[in-house]
């Protein structure tokens, strides 16, 4: 093994070992507790039993997972498009900013659990209510971070471009948009972690397929182990989606990460 890959491995161990240990310890305590106190499986199944249940139900699960993933991705896409458009509108006109901002906050104060059944009444047992619930949950962080990112451009930089004879459009495209991208990605990361939960809530109020439906059915028939399987899978989906965004961010903003590295380097040598 080369020196460099050794160092990377050591870094990875240093970074991931503590959380891995903690999770392992947690699972071990859980496993032992269910043995020691002979907790009934319908109350709290042991981790091992949950794994077994997952393997057992895997044929059944795949269509539910696919459905939930589809709703999540479509809802998230809708949130991304609408969020970016709203952020642009807010940025372009101070009238729209004043008009829209309070409304956007209001959308976040309405309980989703109350809206979701209404959406089912209006749109039926289709995929649309789920997409809308996901979009409602996801668009807000995207709008806020994008609008703030566009607004936070360095005024001296804007003045420089203006002094060089740049048009408003050039200033927007060459300075404000690239400068806002790190903030946009922060919003996307927050949004994507909520998206799967949004889809599951949408399914609870009325659906025939999806992880939410699977969860409800399992819980109604006291298959607590299957409820935990569904929980584990939805967490895993969220984590994978988050990681995908993080990878895209790294590829899209290489400058952002090189500058972060350079700063860290300075800190250590100081």
Partner 1 sequence: MNDAPTCKVEIRDVYKAYRVDGQPTEVLAGVSLCAAAGTFVTIIGPSGCGKSTLFSIICGLQQPDRGEILFDGVPVRQRLGAVGYMPQRDLLLPWRRVLDNVILGPEIHGEDIAVAKREARDLLPLFGLEGFGDSYPAALSGGMRQRAALLRTFLCRKDILLLDEPFGALDAITRNGLQEWLLEVWQRFRYTILFITHDVEEAVFLSDKVYVLSARPAQVRREVRITLPRPRQRAMTLTAEFAAFKQQLLEALQDSPHSQVSTT
Is 255 one of the binding residues for partner 1 (CB under 8 A)?
yes
Query: Cβ contacts of residue 223 below 8 Å, gap of 6+?
Result: 42, 53
Is 103 one of the binding residues for partner 1 (CB under 8 A)?
no
Phi and psi (nearest 5°) for 124?
A: 80, -175
Site for partner 1 in 125-154 (CB under 8 A): 154
Instruction: State in angstroms the smallest separation of the CB of 150 from partner 1.
Output: 15
Q: Which of 123, 166, 190, 231 binds partner 1 (CB under 8 A)?
A: 166
Instruction: State in angstroms the smallest separation of the CB of 185 from partner 1.
Output: 13
Q: Which of 9, 29, 99, 160 binds partner 1 (CB under 8 A)?
A: 160
Is 159 one of the binding residues for partner 1 (CB under 8 A)?
yes
Q: Which of 170, 219, 221, 235 binds partner 1 (CB under 8 A)?
A: 170
Site for partner 1 in 192-221 (CB under 8 A): none
**What long-range pairs does 125-128 form, CB within 8 A, spacing at least 24?**
125/206, 125/207, 125/208, 127/70, 127/71, 127/74
Q: Which of 30, 101, 128, 256 binds partner 1 (CB under 8 A)?
A: 256
Is 259 one of the binding residues for partner 1 (CB under 8 A)?
yes
Q: Which stretch binds partner 1 (CB under 8 A): 52-60, 88-96, 158-166, 193-201?
A: 158-166
Considering the complex, state which of residue 63 and residue 263 has its C-beta at the smaller distance from partner 1. 263
Query: In which region does residue 82 sit, left (phi positive, over 0), alpha (psi from -120 to 50) or beta (all else)?
Result: alpha
Is 173 one of the binding residues for partner 1 (CB under 8 A)?
no
Alpha-carbon dihedral angle through residues 203, 113, 218, 220, given to the nearest 10 degrees:
-130
Is 248 one of the binding residues for partner 1 (CB under 8 A)?
no
**Count of chain residues binding partner 1 (CB under 8 A):** 25
Instruction: State in angstroms the smallest separation of the CB of 191 from partner 1.
Output: 23
Under the rule (CB under 8 A), what is the footprint of partner 1? 154, 156-157, 159-166, 170, 174-175, 178-179, 181, 253-256, 258-259, 262-263
């Amino acid at each position: 093994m080369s020196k460099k890959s050794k160092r990377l491995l050591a870094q990875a161990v240093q970074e991931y070992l503590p959380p891995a240990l903690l999770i392992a310890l947690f699972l071990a305590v859980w496993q032992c507790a269910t043995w020691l106190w002979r907790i009934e499986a319908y109350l709290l199944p042991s981790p091992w039993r949950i794994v077994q249940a997952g393997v057992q139900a895997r044929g059944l699960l795949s269509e539910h997972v696919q459905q939930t993933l589809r709703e999540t991705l479509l809802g998230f896409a809708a949130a991304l498009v609408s969020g970016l458009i709203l952020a642009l509108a807010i940025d372009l006109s101070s009238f729209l900013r004043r008009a829209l901002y309070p409304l956007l906050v209001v959308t976040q104060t309405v309980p989703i659990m109350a809206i979701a059944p209404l959406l089912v009444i209006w749109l039926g047992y289709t995929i649309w209510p789920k997409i809308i619930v996901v979009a409602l949950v996801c668009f807000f962080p995207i709008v806020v971070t994008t609008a703030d990112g566009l607004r936070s451009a360095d005024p001296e930089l804007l003045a420089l471009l203006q002094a060089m004879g740049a048009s408003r459009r050039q200033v927007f495209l060459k300075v404000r948009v690239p400068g806002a991208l790190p903030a946009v990605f922060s919003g996307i990361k927050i949004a994507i972690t909520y998206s799967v939960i949004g889809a599951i809530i949408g399914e609870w109020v009325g659906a025939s397929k999806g992880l939410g439906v699977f969860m409800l059915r399992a819980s109604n028939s006291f298959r607590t182990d299957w409820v935990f399987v569904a929980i584990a899978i939805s967490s895993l989906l969220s984590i994978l989606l988050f990681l995908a965004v993080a990878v895209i961010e790294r590829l899209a903003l290489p400058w952002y990460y090189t500058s972060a590295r350079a700063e860290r380097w300075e800190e250590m040598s100081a």
